[in-house]
Structure 1
Amino acid sequence: MKFHDNLDSEIESLTWEIADRDPREYKFGFYHYGDRAASQGGGTAVFMWFPTESDRQEFLVSCLPMMHSSCESESEYVAQQSLLFESLSNPPEDQVPVAYNKAMKGVAQVEWIGTFDELLNSGSAFALKMRSDFRGECDTMPQKSVPIAEEEVEDFIEFTQTAGI
């Protein structure tokens, strides 16, 4: 359902703008994909970056569901927003919002939520995998736990812009 005539194109434009942001400036991010068949808009994963945690949460509650929504009425969408807001109040497990993903099953899934610094340096499973993939390493190599060095940051940002595409 379209809640106004240009909503789909506005969300698509906003999505590309957010995905292209520099995570050194917009430090609060998440990595998600549509949880449907590719023919229905699912499958492709992207990072999205925000200036504040509040902006990120607002997007997760209001815009992400609209991008992938199967809601048939505005009241159904409002009820979904309330459920998603409540689910984000639970702490993520290894930076994955489990309750949010459960509420969004079949619509969209968030694989990671955190800050760019966490992606560069943390020991979370997702950060380790991204660093390993960036460096072209096998999962068993010890280098995956090494943080991204300053001289690697620019290339790592470029890698994150195409990692799930």
Structure 2
Amino acid sequence: MYAGVKLEMLETEFEQSFEREPYSYSWGFFAYDDTPGASGGGAGNFSWFDKKEELVRFLQKFPLLAHSLGTTDAELFEKAQRYLSTLNADSFNQNNIDEFNQIISGVEQIQWFGQFADLLSGESEFAQGLRKFFSSSTQPLQKIQIPEFAEFLRNWGR
């Protein structure tokens, strides 16, 4: 395994991030497998964290997501990890995600990162698309819809 990463620990931490209940302040990302469809590519999921710092630390620790780890060479893993190790939560932004996606192209891609509140009422194409798929409207979601929307996101991309 790469740089001392234990598969069991990785699987446990990923599972926890998938199942964590998002709150308006939660930080998360949606990533999908960028390998060809015939090899299982395209599947994706959300991962959630209480703080932006936790999200960045998670990516620094596991720069290639669980379902790609076994098929990716150590050199790419180390390159991705080196890039992420230079970043901190205060300055982590979409430009960093774009650069990171270039490094891991063909393996995985992070399609969205931000706070759960952004998905509830944000203007991004991704947020509006999810809301439209969920409720047939791009309008911000009402509080009563949030638990059902969180469950919807848990299954999105699988």
Contact 1:26–1:49 (CA under 8 A) maintained in structure 2: no
Deviation at 1:85, TM superposition (A): 4.1
Contact 1:44–1:164 (CA under 8 A) maintained in structure 2: yes
Structure 1 residues 17 and 91: alpha-carbon distance in aligned structure 2, compared to 1, 3 A threshold: closer
C-alpha distance in 1, partners of 2:74/2:144? 49
Give per-residue Cα distances to partners, 1:78-134, cap 9 Å, x unaligned: 4431223457856316xx921111111012100000000111011011100010111
Deviation at 1:15, TM superposition (A): 0.9
> What CA RMSD, in Å, does the superposition of the two structures yield over aligned residues?
2.6
109-118 vs 60-69, greater mean Cα deviation? 60-69
Give the partner amino acid of 2:122. Answer: S
Between the aligned residues of both structures, percent identity stands at 25
Query: Residue in 1 aligned with 2:34?
Result: 35
C-alpha distance in 1, partners of 2:8/2:36? 21
| Structure 1 unpaired stretches of 5+ | 138-142
Query: Residue in 2 aligned with 1:82?
Result: 82
TM-score (norm 2): 0.82
SS at match of 2:20: coil
Contact 1:90–1:99 (CA under 8 A) maintained in structure 2: no
> Is 2:127 the partner of 1:127?
yes
Structure 1 residues 104 and 79: alpha-carbon distance in aligned structure 2, compared to 1, 3 A threshold: closer
Give per-residue Cα distances to partners, 1:7-43, cap 9 Å, x unaligned: 1122112211111101017700000012113564532
Contact 2:2–2:77 (CA under 8 A) maintained in structure 1: no
Structure 1 residues 126 and 100: alpha-carbon distance in aligned structure 2, compared to 1, 3 A threshold: same
Question: How many residues in Structure 1 have an aligned counterpart in Structure 2?
Answer: 153
SS at match of 1:109: strand
Query: Residue in 1 aligned with 2:94?
Result: 92
SS at match of 2:64: helix
Query: Which has more radius of gyration?
Result: 1
Give the partner amino acid of 1:91. Answer: N
C-alpha distance in 2, partners of 1:100/1:112? 12
Query: Residue in 2 aligned with 1:155?
Result: 148
